[in-house]
Chains A and B, each alone.
Chain A
Amino acid sequence: MTKKVLIKLKDVWKTYFMGDQKLDVLKGINLDIYEKEFLAILGPSGSGKSTMMNQVGILDTPTRGKLYLEGHDISKLTESQVAQIRGKKIGFIFQQFNLIPTLSALENVTLPTIFQNMPEGKRIARGEALLQRVGLGDRMHHKPNELSGGQQQRVAIARALVNNPEIILADEPTGNLDSISGKQVMNMLTDLHSKEGKTIILITHDIQLVRYSSRTIYLLDGEVEKITTNGKH
């Protein structure tokens, strides 16, 4: 494989201290995430999945070890640089949708562009186009509480795409959805991967979803148990 490494985890440890108790949640993870792959990180609860997502999404820093994004050592960047990179390079999709309740669908979608100083005209055009694309062209000015779960998650997908990031990081995106909406969401992620060449990182406990991915990391007790490839790409 000569593919470009987007994210590299090098002997990443994450340790939490609770009183005098020490808890290693990640125990020396080594992982390369390649450009344009559809990677599933699979594991039962307590396996360190969420902690893993925080590392990969550069929301958190390792206790020990190094994290590189496109070859840059994240620990050497300032808070605001990390935030800028996160906003530009990574689009997040959460299990709880995490839309801002006071903002309309369109305002939610364009929210990340504010932090990137995108001009207003461009922002609105882009937000509208994305909402059309996820099939919510007629729901743009609705507030999140006026939308169904599936619709909210589609708004969240549009939001994740608004800064045109290379990486989509989806944390249990179907966890709060019925099976039809869940399927819709997974199909959208698949399309983003196959048609637009986005790198998809899917974090889940649901082994059924592994079939969508090109490569799967099995996490258990903070360690990589095994890696499988589906050979789909």
Chain B
Amino acid sequence: MIKDYLYIPWNEIKRRRLRAWLTLIGVIIGIAAIVSLITLGQGLQNAIQSQFDALGNDKLFVTAKGNVLTAGLSIDAIKITEKDKEVVARTSGVKRVAGMIYSTGRIEFNELIRYFFISGLPTDPEERALVGESQSYHLLKGRFLEKGDKFKAVLGYAYTQPTLFQADIDLGQKILIQDQEFKIVGFLEKIGSPPDDQSILIPLDAYQDVFDSGDELGIIIAQSQLGEDTLKVGENIEKELRKSRDQKEGDEDFSVATPDQFAETFNIILDIVQAVLVGIAGISLLVGGVGIMNTMYTTVLQRTKEIGVMKSLGAENKHILYLFLVEAGFYGLGGGLIGVTIGFGFAKIVEWAFLIAVGPAFLSVEFNVPLIAGTLLFSFLIGVISGIAPAYRASKLNPVDALRYE
């Protein structure tokens, strides 16, 4: 029996192909937008997660509170300093510790002034290695900052392009940072994001000099000892810092986080952005639903006589209702299938474009079976719900009036 309630509506849709396609377009756009947005959002989260995973699960980050995402850009009074770093280094379970800081700075070259990120990095080999692990810097040419370096700089990949300062820049040349002359000793490989590639690395003490930042640090990176529970070490650090900063539990003005917790913070923001975008896409799906409703009202009107015939042949109201609901459901499901295909295809194209433009690290699009299945079910329901009012009207038609309708 179910077959018949699928077959008859399917034939009706095929009977008016143009109208069917026009009706489907509304749903297709809505579903494609939703699927591509969610897939891309998840792709971004996947990529962020894998970047944080690459940091290793034995790392901990100490920052001033409220500055998780803007460490080093702090303009308020809360600061973490070299003193905190020493406290962290003394904490049990901590193997290595390093501090760094960054902010935007004034860069002058070839009589042009630009503002980009300047990072102050430790020059101690062990500390530098720890920072290097957590920042994935790779040298293109020259050398890294070394112990004893003061006004030396390693430049991001963007400086190898003459476009940035309308001149070639090379090793051994001088560049002005905050009006202080620095000698260029190295260039980094391409990282992928413009802010990273435009940043300049200088020794931490040089940074503290030119920015007059005293002993302030933007972030302290700690590595737990092999075999230690990193979260437990994190708690130890928190306890020690509370003690040295004379703060009560819950009132801390600093935070200690693992890469996972960092990723979590990013994901919350991404989730909010995604929810807003999907909400907007949902409006287009609503329009698609109204399109289905309109088509169904038209088809009920056009097939009034057939409805009368079916009733004369013994169709009950509920049979007519099913037939039209299934037809509306087909529009929803059909639009969903095509929309999912287009939406996923679009996400793959964006992933490919990102790969070409900035490298593999930024987007990792995956085929998400629950998402696809959920979307198809949802689009089917949109169709059915849009069909309820027209189908009800069809089912309630008086057979005599319907038969007489021309």
Contact = CB atoms under 8 A, between A and B. Distances in A.
B268 interface: no
B313 A88 contact: no
Nearest to B306: A100
Contact of B313 (A60, A102, A111, A117): A111
A88 B403 CA distance: 19
Interface in A83-119: 83-84, 86-88, 92, 94, 98, 100-103, 111-112, 114-117
Interface residues of B, number: 25
Interface string B364-406: 0000000000000000000000000000000000111001000
Contact of A115 (B12, B15, B305, B315): B315
Interface stretch (B81-89, B160-168, B195-203, B316-324): B316-324
Nearest to B303: A100
A115 B309 contact: no
A80 B318 CA distance: 8
A115 B400 contact: no
Interface string B310-341: 11111111110000000000000000000000
B1 A114 contact: yes
A79 B316 contact: yes
A83 B311 contact: yes
Nearest to B401: A60
Given A59-B311, A102-B14, A79 B317 contact: yes
A120 B312 CA distance: 21
B251 interface: no
A87 B313 contact: yes
Contacts of A98: 305-306, 309, 312, 403
A163 B317 contact: no
A116 B314 contact: yes
A124 B306 CA distance: 22
A54 interface: yes
B111 interface: no
Given A98-B305, A103-B8, A114-B4, A159 B313 contact: yes
B1 to A, nearest CB: 6
Contacts of A117: 1
With a 10 A CB-CB cut-off, give which of A80, A83, A88 has the most chain B CB atoms: A83
Nearest to A80: B316
Given A83-B316, A84-B314, A116-B314, A59 B399 contact: yes
A88 B4 CA distance: 19
Contacts of A62: none
Nearest to B312: A92
Contacts of B15: 101-102
Contacts of A120: 3
A43 interface: no
Interface string B194-220: 000000000000000000000000000
Given A54-B400, A102-B8, A103-B11, A84 B305 contact: no
A127 interface: no
B329 to A, nearest CB: 18
B11 A87 contact: no
A57 interface: yes
Contacts of A103: 8, 11
Contacts of A114: 1, 4, 319
Nearest to A54: B400
Contacts of A60: 398-400
B2 to A, nearest CB: 11
B314 A102 contact: no
A117 B318 CA distance: 13
A116 B11 CA distance: 21
Nearest to A159: B313
A177 B309 CA distance: 20
B314 A87 contact: yes
A156 to B, nearest CB: 10
A45 B317 CA distance: 31
B1 A86 contact: no
Given A80-B317, A115-B319, A59 B312 contact: yes
Contacts of B310: 100, 111, 115
A229 to B, nearest CB: 29
Given A102-B15, A114-B1, A117-B1, A83 B400 contact: no
A115 B399 contact: no
A139 B4 CA distance: 21
A217 B1 CA distance: 41
A83 B14 contact: no
A98 B312 CA distance: 10
Nearest to B406: A96
Contact of A100 (B309, B399, B400): B309
Contact of B11 (A79, A83, A102, A163): A102
A116 B319 CA distance: 11
B253 to A, nearest CB: 73
24 contacts: A54-B400, A59-B403, A79-B316, A79-B317, A80-B316, A80-B317, A83-B316, A84-B314, A86-B314, A87-B313, A87-B314, A88-B314, A94-B403, A98-B312, A98-B403, A100-B8, A100-B306, A102-B8, A103-B8, A103-B11, A112-B313, A114-B4, A115-B314, A117-B1
Given A116-B314, A117-B1, 4 more contacts: A80-B316, A80-B317, A86-B312, A101-B15
Kindly list the 4 A-B residue pairs having the minimum CB-CB distance in the complex, ordered from nearest: A87-B314, A102-B11, A112-B313, A83-B316
Interface of A: 54, 57, 59-60, 79-80, 83-84, 86-88, 92, 94, 98, 100-103, 111-112, 114-117, 120, 159, 163
